[in-house]
């Protein structure tokens, strides 16, 4: 893109200066007050605002001995000048912030289980690099409005429906949903060799929809099978469902990352390993990088750089030589 001709640059800068002067006169309630605030002669202010009116071929101000009023055009023009000044002030704040050392509190939302099983593993390196940054972790399955609730970063599954032009989403990776039960439970109940066998055993399910008693399972070719079952426990907290499964209360359907330690230790075993309940894709969401505070920026960059690999390794470990029903 070529630079503007020099005389155009001068015209643009003059116009911006005159807008600044006009905005200051209105905001301070007159030329004298604006002159004191800007520390420039009152005569210069009057001359520049008058020149702005001539250039625009409109009257912006109605002047009298005792008061100064805006015309209708002046009021509309002032609103745009004020917006321009806000942008200038915001640009200066961003430049100052980006030049500062990352520090302060960052509010991060994530679903139950993700923090303890995946996020916790990548945070020590971050805090070692940025010791002045603090993090508040908000664990919930509820949809979070980042702008309204003043949350800086959210990790969420399949966020497509609630994205807006104000939000940026970056894909982190898939998380499988699997069936699990304790070895004691499996030993005490009839063998579960096919999805239909789930109807004969107690189950543990997440309270997400009205169809608590129906699971949709997929075989290795992705062919779905709908299974009707009888839940013993219905809950909207995954950690509770996992512990209930560990205690032998039923077959649970859970994100595989949430079961990693229990599966690895043998406290849980996969049920119907040839089937799964689908994959969910995790994303990180944050507001536009324009104006992003340094602490938020470095955390977002760290999570984007580290979480996909951490999730991949968890997934790989889960599918390698773990006990199955």
| Residue 33: both structure tokens together | 């007050």
The boundaries of every CATH 1.10.10.10 domain in the chain are 6-98
- One DSSP character per residue, 30-68 reads SHHHHHHHHTS-HHHHHHHHHHHHHHHTS--EEE-SS-E
Position 55 pLDDT exceeds 50:
yes
Mean pLDDT of 80-107: 77
Q: Whole-angstrom Cα distance, residue 265 to residue 318?
A: 11
Statement: 6-98 belongs to CATH 1.10.10.10: yes
Position 5 pLDDT exceeds 50:
no
Instruction: Kindly state the percentage of the chain with pLDDT values over 70.
Output: 83
Position 13 pLDDT exceeds 70:
no
Q: Tell me if residue 156 falls in helix, strand or coil.
A: strand
Mean pLDDT of 273-283: 83
Position 323 pLDDT exceeds 80:
no
Q: What is the pLDDT of residue 19?
A: 87
Q: What is the pLDDT of residue 209?
A: 57
Q: Whole-angstrom Cα distance, residue 295 to residue 110?
A: 18
Mean pLDDT of 68-90: 86
Mean pLDDT of 227-237: 86
Q: What is the pLDDT of residue 2?
A: 47
Reported confidence tier of residue 220, pLDDT bands at 50, 70, 90: confident
Position 12 pLDDT exceeds 60:
no
Q: What is the pLDDT of residue 160?
A: 52
The boundaries of every CATH 3.40.190.10 domain in the chain are 104-171+282-310
Going by C-alpha positions, the residue among 156, 109, 113 that lies closest to residue 135 is 109
Strand partners, 157: 282
Residue 139 phi/psi, 5° resolution? -95, 120
pTM, full prediction: 0.56
The boundaries of every CATH 3.40.190.290 domain in the chain are 176-279
Least confident of 75-79, 144-148, 191-195, 290-294: 144-148
Mean pLDDT of 267-274: 90
Position 4 pLDDT exceeds 50:
no
State the Cα torsion 149-155-160-166 to the nearest 10°. Answer: 50
Q: What is the pLDDT of residue 59?
A: 92
Least confident of 54-68, 212-226, 280-294: 280-294
Task: Tell me the average pLDDT of the chain.
Answer: 82
Per the CB < 8 A criterion, the answer to whether 177 and 280 are in contact is yes
Q: Tell me if residue 151 falls in helix, strand or coil.
A: coil
Position 322 pLDDT exceeds 50:
no
Reported confidence tier of residue 279, pLDDT bands at 50, 70, 90: confident
CATH architecture of the domain with range 176-279: 3-Layer(aba) Sandwich (3.40)
Q: What is the pLDDT of residue 208?
A: 66
Q: What is the pLDDT of residue 252?
A: 92
Domain 104-171+282-310, CATH among 3.20.20.20, 1.10.600.10, 3.40.190.10, 3.30.930.10: 3.40.190.10
Position 8 pLDDT exceeds 50:
no
Q: Which tens digits make up the pLDDT trace of 149-187? A: 778 999 987 655 445 556 788 999 888 888 999 999 999
Most confident of 106-110, 254-258, 298-302: 298-302
Q: What is the pLDDT of residue 148?
A: 65
| Residue 15: both structure tokens together | 């116009």
């Amino acid at each position: 893109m070529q630079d503007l001709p020099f005389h155009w640059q001068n015209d643009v800068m003059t116009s911006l200066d005159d807008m600044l002067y006009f905005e200051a006169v209105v905001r301070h309630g007159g030329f004298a007050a604006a002159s004191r605030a800007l520390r420039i002669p009152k005569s210069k202010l009057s001359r520049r605002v008058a020149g702005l009116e001539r250039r625009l071929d409109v009257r912006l101000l109605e002047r009298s001995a005792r008061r100064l009023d805006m015309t209708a055009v002046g009021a509309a023009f002032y609103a745009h000048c004020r917006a321009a000044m806000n942008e200038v002030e915001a640009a200066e704040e961003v430049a100052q912030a980006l030049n500062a050392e990352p520090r302060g509190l960052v509010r991060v939302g994530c679903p139950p289980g993700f923090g303890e099983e995946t996020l916790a593993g990548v945070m020590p390196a971050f805090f070692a690099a940025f010791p002045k940054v603090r993090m508040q972790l908000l664990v919930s399955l509820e949809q979070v409005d980042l702008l309204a609730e003043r949350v800086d970063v959210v990790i969420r599954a399949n966020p497509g429906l609630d994205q807006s032009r104000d939000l940026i989403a970056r894909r982190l990776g898939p998380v499988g949903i699997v069936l699990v039960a304790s070895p004691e439970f499996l030993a005490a109940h009839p063998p579960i060799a096919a999805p239909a066998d789930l109807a004969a055993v107690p189950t543990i399910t997440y309270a997400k929809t009205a169809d608590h008693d129906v699971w949709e399972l997929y075989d290795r070719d992705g062919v779905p099978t709908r299974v009707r079952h009888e839940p013993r426990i219905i809950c909207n907290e995954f950690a509770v469902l996992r512990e209930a499964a560990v205690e032998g209360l039923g077959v649970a359907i859970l994100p595989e990352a949430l079961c990693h330690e229990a599966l690895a230790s043998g406290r849980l075993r996969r049920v119907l390993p040839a089937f799964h309940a689908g994959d969910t894709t995790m994303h990180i969401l944050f507001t536009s990088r324009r104006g992003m505070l340094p602490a938020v920026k470095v955390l977002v960059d760290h999570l984007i750089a580290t979480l996909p690999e951490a999730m991949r390794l968890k997934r790989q470990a889960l599918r390698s030589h773990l006990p199955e029903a």
